[in-house]
Amino acid sequence: MNILLLGVQGSGKGTQAKRIADEYGLAHVSTGDMLRGAVAEGTELGRRVQPILERGELVPDELMIELIRERLGAEDTAPGFVLDGFPRTTPQAQALDTMLAEIDRPLSVVFELQVPDDVATERLQRRAELEGRTDDTPEAIRKRIDLYHQQTEPLVAHYRLAGNLVGIHGGRSENEVFAEIQQALDQVPSR
Ligand code: AMP
């Protein structure tokens, strides 16, 4: 099974992606985690993207597309993957469509975790207090939510047209959201 999660930061996307990956034995592919890892390790990529992450802006498409192409070629994605944080723009989605068609690994389902902006903002502010993520400043939070609406939300229509979009009400508890995701996954034909 190959799964894609869409949703604004603070929608619970990362948490749900991890749970799905654990439960179904899939690789969790989080571009945010990959980039934060690169920053923490101080690699060249990390040095390049650090200021972008801190401002809450988007890393250039070409860089992200290469990163994902490499990641999806790794052995652990063979049973399937849960994509979390990619694609975030139309060029990224188009590149992903082409990439997955080439390797004959289509997306089984695309979940859109829907939460109102005020709920997402509140959750991100709470996370800022708990974890002190450097991109959880009020300005960066606002920027990321704006960018989600401008750049990423149009992808919902793209996947709705492709016919595999499932909307999930993400404002509930983690367990309730996961139960709904599981119900939807039970309907996905295995191939
Ligand atoms: P996330 O953990 O998914 O919220 O991502 C954290 C940050 O990494 C984002 O605010 C962006 O700066 C960057 N990032 C992650 N994924 C992408 C992507 N697909 N395209 C551009 N930037 C990204």
Q: Is 88 a catalytic residue?
A: yes
Give the whole-angstrom CA distance, residue 57 versus residue 62.
15
- Of the candidates 13, 19, 36, 71, the residue annotated as catalytic is 13
- Of the candidates 18, 48, 69, 127, the residue annotated as catalytic is 127
Q: Are strands 81-84 and 2-6 parallel, antiparallel or unpaired?
A: parallel
**How far apart are the CA of 189 and the centre of ligand 1, in A?**
30
Give the whole-angstrom CA distance, residue 15 versus residue 32.
13
Task: Per-residue pLDDT tens, the chain, 191 aa: give them.
Answer: 999 999 999 999 999 999 999 999 999 999 999 999 999 999 999 999 999 999 999 999 999 999 999 999 999 999 999 999 999 999 999 999 999 999 999 999 999 999 999 999 999 999 888 887 777 889 999 999 999 999 999 999 999 999 899 999 999 999 999 999 999 999 987 65
Q: Which residue's CA is the nearest one to ligand 1's atom 5?
A: 32
- What are the DSSP E strand ranges found in the chain? 2-6, 27-30, 81-84, 109-114, 165-169
Q: Tokens 């289509």, residue?
A: 106
Contact 117, 3 (CB under 8 A): no
pLDDT digits (tens, 9 = 90+) for 101-154: 999 999 999 999 999 999 999 999 998 888 877 778 899 999 999 999 999 999
Q: Is 144 a catalytic residue?
A: yes
**In the chain, what are the helix, strand and coil shares in percent, each to the nearest 5?**
60, 15, 25
Q: Is the CB of 86 under 6 A from ligand 1?
A: yes
- Of the candidates 18, 48, 69, 133, the residue annotated as catalytic is 133
Q: What is the pTM of this model?
A: 0.95
DSSP per residue, 122-144: HHHHHHHHHH--TT-SHHHHHHH
